Chains A and B, each alone.
Chain A
C-alpha cells in the first residue's frame, strides 16, 4: 500500500503570502493519478488539481501543482481569505485510492 505524507501538518500564513504544501509518496506514483483537494469545516471536499498539475474547472490560477515520482507540491501564489482550510493530496494505484493526512492552512 502506498502511504502519503503531507508537510507541514499546520501552516500559519497571512493573506497575500505564498503557501507551499508538500505531498510525498512512499513509492513512485503515476503523476496522472495525483490530485489535491481543499476542505472547509462542514463542507464537502473540492477538487483543486488533478494529474499533478492541471487545475480543475473554476479553480483560480493562484493555485498550481507540480512534481513527479514521489514528491509533489501545491503552491498558492497569493493567499486569499477563503483559502484557509485543510488541504489533502490523493493518489490512485493498484485498485486503491489513498489520501494524505492533510495540511491545515491557518491564518497567522
Chain B
C-alpha cells in the first residue's frame, strides 16, 4: 500500500524557516518524481515545487522561487521542502504528492498534509 507521511509543520514567525519532510513507502521511491502542493485557508490548491526521480531537476512556482528549496534522499524514501523567508501568505496545509508515472504529469497518491502557520 502506498503511503506518504508528511511532518515538520508548525507555527513560525514571518521571516522564519521550516523544513517539511515526506516519507514514502509502498512503491519504488527512486523511480518517481515528487511534488509539494499547498492549500491555503479559503483558497484552492496551489502547486509549490517538484523534483525529478533522481533529484537533479527541481522546479518551483514563481510564488516561492528563491525562498524554497526541494531535495530528496532516495536511500530514505523521503522528499524535503526547505522553506525560508516565510510570509503570511505561505500559511497553508502542505501535501506531498507522487507523480503517476515517469511520463505522466498528474498525482496519483497524496499524503494527509502538514499545516504550516506563519504568524507573529
Interface residues of A (CB under 8 A from B): 1, 32-33, 35, 37, 39, 43-47, 50-51, 56-57, 86, 88, 90-92, 95-102
- CA–CA, A50 to B101, complex, Å? 11
A99 lies within 8 A of B46 (CB): yes
Which residue of chain A is the closest to B107 with respect to CB atoms? A47
A102 lies within 8 A of B44 (CB): yes
A35 lies within 8 A of B106 (CB): yes
Fill in one digit per residue for B104-115: 1 if any A CB lies within 8 Å of its CB, else 0: 111110111100
- CA–CA, A96 to B105, complex, Å? 10
Main secondary structure of the interface of B (DSSP, over half): strand
Fill in one digit per residue for B82-106: 1 if any A CB lies within 8 Å of its CB, else 0: 0000000000000101001000111
Residues from chain A with a CB closer than 8 A to the CB of B113 are: 44
Residues from chain A with a CB closer than 8 A to the CB of B50 are: 97
Residues from chain B with a CB closer than 8 A to the CB of A56 are: 100, 108
Cβ contact of B47, chosen from A32, A86, A98, cutoff 8 A: A98
15 additional A-B residue pairs with CB within 8 Å, beyond A44-B110, A96-B59, A99-B44: A35-B106, A39-B39, A44-B112, A45-B97, A45-B107, A46-B110, A57-B108, A90-B45, A90-B107, A95-B59, A97-B37, A97-B47, A99-B45, A99-B46, A102-B45
B44 lies within 8 A of A88 (CB): yes
A47 lies within 8 A of B106 (CB): yes
Residues from chain B with a CB closer than 8 A to the CB of A47 are: 100, 106-108
Question: B61 at the A/B interface (Cβ < 8 Å)?
Answer: yes
Residues from chain A with a CB closer than 8 A to the CB of B62 are: 1
